[in-house]
Amino acid sequence: MVQEQYYKKLVNMQQNVLRLGELANSAIKDSVEALQDHNVEQAEAVITGDAGIDSLSADIDVLCMHLPVLKQPVDRDLRTIGAVVKINLDIERMSDLAVDIARVAIATRDKKHVRSLIDISAMAHIACEMLGDALRAFGELNSDLAYKIAKRDDEIDALFDQLRRVSITLIVEDMEQVEDESQLTFVAQYLEQIGDHVGNICESVVYMATGDRLKLN
């Protein structure tokens, strides 16, 4: 009976992680769309929705603490619980970064963007693809997929460096653009950090599957 309850809670914990990741992924997409479209209502929905993400994250923490009390975990289960603790933190932090982007969208709602947001859009697209694939790797316990996903962080880093160089050039040419360019650079930095958090999730998946602690990004 205890063993059945234990494994039921273990599966529930993993399903909650997948749900949490899906919510964070939607928040990232919605926050960038809100920035592009000057959609204050959508940005505010991202900020409001963060409370639900925080609540689910707290539930996952509780499950992680309760599981070892129910039953002494075997090595694989112990690795899973430890990895979930880290993954939970990474996903919750990504949600916070989506909120930061939404706040920039609200702050710039009455301003025309000084240039195209194509680089930011591309960064967000890659980050969301990476997160979706990382969640699949977690669900399938697929370390090979985790390795491949982590390598894509280089694409985000390259776009961030490109955007930052363009921003510096535009500011030098017109100092009146400092505030607007700074806001966009902040958004790009948030997306770059999201890519790093996805890399952390991939490391946790590899640890779950193999027991190896590796630095992938």
Q: In the prediction, which pLDDT does 71 show?
A: 65
How many structural domains is the chain composed of? 1
Q: Which residue has the higher pLDDT, 75 or 148?
A: 148
74 CB burial (10 A radius; 0-12, 13-18, 19+): exposed
Q: Which residue has the higher pLDDT, 176 or 195?
A: 195
Q: In the prediction, which pLDDT does 4 show?
A: 75
Range of the domain at 51: 2-210
Statement: residue 134 has pLDDT above 70: yes
pLDDT tens-digit readout, 64-84: 887 776 666 667 778 888 999
Tell whether 118 is covered by a domain. Answer: yes
Q: In the prediction, which pLDDT does 143 show?
A: 95
Tell whether 216 is covered by a domain. Answer: no
Q: What is the pTM of this model?
A: 0.91
* Rounded average pLDDT over 10-33: 96
Tell whether 149 is covered by a domain. Answer: yes
Q: In the prediction, which pLDDT does 173 show?
A: 62
Cα angle 101-16-52, degrees, rounded to a multiple of 5: 45
Residue 74 region by backbone torsions, left for phi larger than 0, else alpha for psi between -120 and 50, else beta: beta
* Rounded average pLDDT over 86-95: 98
Tell whether 215 is covered by a domain. Answer: no
CB 98, CB 31: distance < 8 Å: yes
Closest CA to 189 of 108, 120, 96, 129: 120
* Rounded average pLDDT over 32-42: 96
Return the CATH number at 42: 1.20.58.220
Amino acid identity of 9?
Answer: K
